[in-house]
Amino acid sequence: MSSAAGLRPASAEVVRARPSGFFKDMVSVSNRALRLLPRDLEAIIPALLVPLFFLVVTIGAIQNLADQAVSGLDYKAFQLPVAIMTAVTGMSRANSLVIDISDGYFDRLLMTPINRYALLLGLMVADFTLFMVMAVPVIALGFAIGVSFGATGVLGLLVFVLFGALWGLAYTGFPYAIALRTGNPAAVNSSFLLFFPFMFLTTAWVEREVMTDWLAAITWFNPMTYALEGMRSLFAGWRGWALGRALLAIGAVGLVAQTLAFRSLRGRVRRG
C-alpha cells in the first residue's frame, strides 16, 4: 500500500465534474464495452463457430437437392446470408449488462451524470462493431468455398455485411429488454428462443417454391425472409426493391425491439 499522504489535489485548479454531452457519454460506454470484448472471447468464439459449422454442413447436405429443385441456384451464396444472420442474431452485450446489474456496476453508472440513453446506445455501438467483425470469417469462408460478389463488387460486399449488422442491431433490443426488465442471465439466454421462429419459418434453407404450402405462407409474414432476400439479391446485381424491403423489414424489427429495450431502460431507472 502506498504511504498515506493526503488526497488533496496537487494542481492549483481543483478538478470538478461536468456534463460530457450525449455523444461523449455514448463513446465512453462503448469504449468500455469494446475494451472488454477481447476479454470475453469465451462468449464470442462459440457464437462464431456455430454459423461456420452450419454453413459447411448445410451446403454439404442440401446443395445437390437444391440444385435439382431450382435450376441456376447458387446454393453456397444462398446460404451465406443465413450464416451471417445466425452469427449476429442474439449476439449482444445483454449478458454483460445483466452482470453489470447484478454486480452493482449499472448502479454506479446510474449515479454518474451519463445520459441514460447513452448507457444502452453505447452498448449497441459496441454490438454493431462486433457484428461487422464477426462477418469477416463468415465471408472469408464463403470466398473459400467459391461464393462471389461479382455482380455488385466490393460495394455489394459492404452492403451485405452492413445489412447483417443492422439486422443484428435491430434484434439486440429483445435481449436488452429482457436483461433490463429481469436482471436475470437465464432469462436473457432464453431470448435466443426467438431466433428459431425468425430463422426457421423463413426461406433460410430452400426457396419458397419447394416448400410445403403452409410454411411458404408463413414466410411471407417473417421479416427475416425479406432481410435474407435483400442480402441474396446482392449476388445477382443491384435490385432496389429487394434492398428496400430488406431495410423496411429490419427497421420494423428494430422499431419493436428497441422500443421494448428503451422502455425497459426507463422502467429500471425509475424503479431504482
Partner 1 sequence: MRISRLSLVPSSAVPTAISAQGLRRTYGDVVAVDSLDLEVVAGEIYGFLGPNGAGKSTAVRMLCTLASATAGTASVAGYDVATEGEKVRLSIGVALQDAALDGKLTGRETLTLQGRYYGLERGSIAARIEELAPLLEMDAIDRRVSTYSGGMKRRLDLAAALMHNPEVLFLDEPTTGLDPISRAVVWEQIRRLNRDLGMTIFLTTQYLEEADALTHRVGILNEGRLVAEGTPDELKRTVGSDVVVARVAGDTEVAAAAIGQVPGISHVEVYGNEVSAATGDGASAISPVAVSLAAAGVEVTDLSIHPTTLDDVFLELTGARIEVEE
Residues that bind partner 1 (CB under 8 A): 1-11, 14-20, 24-25, 28, 31-32, 35-36, 39-40, 100, 103-105, 107-114, 270-272
| Cβ distance to partner 1 smaller for residue 18 or 240 | 18
| Cβ distance to partner 1 smaller for residue 102 or 190 | 102
| Cβ distance to partner 1 smaller for residue 44 or 69 | 44
What is the nearest approach in angstroms of partner 1 to the Cβ of residue 155?
Answer: 36
What is the nearest approach in angstroms of partner 1 to the Cβ of residue 30?
Answer: 11
| Cβ distance to partner 1 smaller for residue 6 or 60 | 6
Cα Rg of the chain (Å, integer): 22
Residues 6+ apart with CB under 8 A from 95: 43, 175, 179, 185, 188, 189
Given its phi and psi angles, is residue 153 left (phi above 0), alpha (psi -120 to 50 degrees) or beta? left
| Cβ distance to partner 1 smaller for residue 147 or 265 | 265
Report how far residue 135's alpha carbon sits from residue 140's, in angstroms, rounded to the nearest whole number. 8
For residue 105, give the amino acid letter.
Y
What is the nearest approach in angstroms of partner 1 to the Cβ of residue 96?
Answer: 9
| Cβ distance to partner 1 smaller for residue 72 or 272 | 272
Query: What is the sign, positive or negative, of the torsion defined by CA atoms of 18, 7, 105, 87?
Result: positive
What is the nearest approach in angstroms of partner 1 to the Cβ of residue 92?
Answer: 17
In 3D space, the residue among 198, 244, 219, 246 whose CA is nearest the CA of residue 86 turns out to be 198
Residue 11 phi, psi (nearest 5):
-75, 155
Residues 6+ apart with CB under 8 A from 45: none
What is the nearest approach in angstroms of partner 1 to the Cβ of residue 42?
Answer: 12
Please tell me whether residue 20 adopts helix, strand or coil conformation: coil
Report how far residue 168's alpha carbon sits from residue 92's, in angstroms, rounded to the nearest whole number. 8
Place of cell 494542481: 11
| Cβ distance to partner 1 smaller for residue 113 or 146 | 113
Report how far residue 92's alpha carbon sits from residue 212's, in angstroms, rounded to the nearest whole number. 34
Please tell me whether residue 9 adopts helix, strand or coil conformation: coil
What is the nearest approach in angstroms of partner 1 to the Cβ of residue 121?
Answer: 15
What is the nearest approach in angstroms of partner 1 to the Cβ of residue 199?
Answer: 31
